[in-house]
Structure 1
Amino acid sequence: MKKIIQFFKDSYAELAKVVWPSKEDVIASTKIVVISTVAVALVLGLIDFLLVLGIEVVFR
């Protein structure tokens, strides 16, 4: 039981050392992730669309 208690004490001490990002940093990072996800989805959707068109032309 002592080891478990020591583990939680050590964990709490380590969390006190963490430098958490500011709200602005989190918002900026979230915007970048959302924009890049949408961009990649659009590119992959376009590639998929073109491949389907190409396959339809070949098998027609």
Structure 2
Amino acid sequence: MGKIRQFCKECVGELKKVVWPTRSEVLSSVKVVFISTIVVALILGLLDWLFTEGLRLIF
């Protein structure tokens, strides 16, 4: 039981050392992820359309 208590104390101690991001940093990161997801989706959609049309021409 003592080891579990010691482990919990150490966990709390480590969590106090964590530097949490500010709200503006989180929003900035979310914007980057959102925009990059849209860009990649558009690129993949375009490639899919090109390959589909290319195969239609062949067959």
- The TM-score normalised by the length of structure 2 is 0.95
Per-residue Cα deviation, 1:3-57 (whole angstroms, up to 9, x for no partner) = 1111111010000000111000000000000000000000000000000000111
Q: Secondary structure at the match of 2:37?
A: helix
2:51 partner amino acid: L
Which residues of structure 2 form unaligned runs of 5+?
none
Total equivalences in the alignment: 59
1:5 matched to 2:1 = no
RMSD: 0.6
The 5 Å alignment of 1:7-46 reads 7-46=7-46
Q: How far apart, CA to CA, are the structure 2 residues paired with 1:44 and 1:10?
A: 46
- Offset at 1:2? 1.4
Identity of aligned residues (%): 51
Equivalence for 2:51: 51
2:19 partner amino acid: V
